[in-house]
Amino acid sequence: MTILADRRVLDVPGAQALIDHAATFDSPATLADWFRDAAGGLDLAEAAAAARASAHAVLLAPPGDGPLLALRWFAPGTPTTIHSHGTWGVLVILEGHDTYERWTPTGLAATHYLAAGDVLWWTPPPGDLHRQTSPDGALELLFVGGVPDGVPVAEPSVRVDPLAEAYRRAYLDASTAPLADAFHEDVLLDVCVPGWRFQVQGRQEVLDLLAADEFGPPGYRLTYFRTVPTESGFVVEAEVRFASAGGERLWRVTHLVGVRDGRIAEQTSYCTGHWDAESVVRQRREAGMVRP
């Protein structure tokens, strides 16, 4: 238990009952939605003040040998190391924004961009390797399946493809500006959406399409981003959420990017189409997911 020796412990009413019930779920994926809702039933005012004043997470119930519940404050612009907890877990963002990077021993696997109310879960090692940072500060409630092992992890060396990084920046900023010089003048974009397919050719034509359809919806926010290198370029995978009268909607898209002479020469894009708010909730609660 020495890994917890420097953690402050507050016996928050209801926290132990939450831990006991959370431990009955058969996977972090099935726990996630319940945990998000249960978080609202705790009085966390004292714990939040303690977390902001501490360099570590604050435990919300006395620790044993099993699951733990904690509150963590991430100061603005201060990233963690790439690290492992040695166990599975679930988190919900209570305030602010959090960038959660999932890593493998060889590099960055994917990035989740979380806002208040978002929930994220992770699997046991090696699926719990991650790094977090917050642009504006984030208050996070987390449940972990066991006592963290505290084993340090060597940070992988990573080469960042400048074109892939330009795409990430464009999605984060909801702007085509980072992509202005990324495309060949005669780039060909082949788009496949549910029930339809079309093509657009030319740099400005592609930028105009992305500005209107990919980055233009109201309440737009990037929630997931991943790139994978290929022999001829790279793959981009992204999830975007946006506002509507019926609630938050989303789409997921995959771009197969071909590079020639240092610029994007062709791109094939596959999009799920827009899920309505009911489908977003239904998928989250009913679909059997192996990893987030």
**Taking all residues of the chain, what is their mean pLDDT, rounded to a whole number?**
93
Please give the average per-residue pLDDT across 92-97, as a whole number: 98
Q: For residues 74 and 5, which has the higher predicted lDDT (pLDDT)? A: 74
Residue 84 backbone phi and psi in degrees, to 5: -125, 145
Domain with residue 102: its CATH number is 2.60.120.10
**pLDDT above 70: residue 256:** yes
The CATH number of residue 173's host domain is 3.10.450.50
Provide the 3-class DSSP secondary structure of residue 114: strand
The residue length of the chain stands at: 292
Question: What per-residue confidence (pLDDT) applies to 104?
Answer: 87
Cβ contact 127:27 at 8 Å: no
Question: pTM for the whole thing?
Answer: 0.92
Calculate ∠ Cα 223-117-245, nearest 5°: 75
Give the range with max mean pLDDT: 7-11, 79-83, 170-174.
170-174
The answer to the question of residue 103 being in a domain is: yes
Under the banding of pLDDT at 50, 70 and 90, the label for residue 228 is very high
- The number of distinct structural domains making up the chain is 2
Decide if 162 contacts 97 (C-beta within 8 A): no
208 and 88 together in one domain: no
Q: Does any domain span residue 289? A: no
Strands 89-104 and 196-201: unpaired
The model's pLDDT over 112-128, given as tens digits with 9 standing for 90+, comes to 999 999 999 999 998 99
Checking if the pLDDT of 5 tops 70, the result is: no
Domain stops at, among 134, 156, 178: 156
With respect to residue 287, please indicate whether it lies within any of the assigned structural domains.
no
Cβ within 8 Å of residue 182, ≥6 positions away? 163, 166, 167, 263, 264
Whether 265 is in a domain gets the answer yes
Q: Based on the domain organization, do 76 and 173 belong to the same domain?
A: no
Amino acid at 160: V
pLDDT value for 4: 59
Give the structural domain span for 171. 162-280
Would you state the pLDDT for residue 152?
63
Of 122, 156, 190, the one marking the end of a domain is 156
* H-state helical runs in 109-214: 162-173, 203-209
Give the model's pLDDT for residue 288.
87
DSSP per-residue codes, 251-275: EEEEEEEEEETTEEEEEEEEE--PB
Please give the radius of gyration of the chain, using alpha carbons only, rounded to the nearest integer.
21
Mean pLDDT over 99-109 rounds to 91
The strand pair at 263-271 and 183-193 is best described as parallel
- Provide the pLDDT for residue 145: 92
How far apart CA 33 and CA 36 sit, in angstroms, is: 5
Are residues 217 and 146 part of one domain? Answer: no
Average pLDDT over residues 181-190: 97
Give the closest residue to 255 by CA, choosing from 205, 208, 187.
187
Q: Which amino acid is at 68?
A: L
Rounded Cα gap, residues 168 and 111, in angstroms: 10
Residues 40 and 83 in one domain: yes
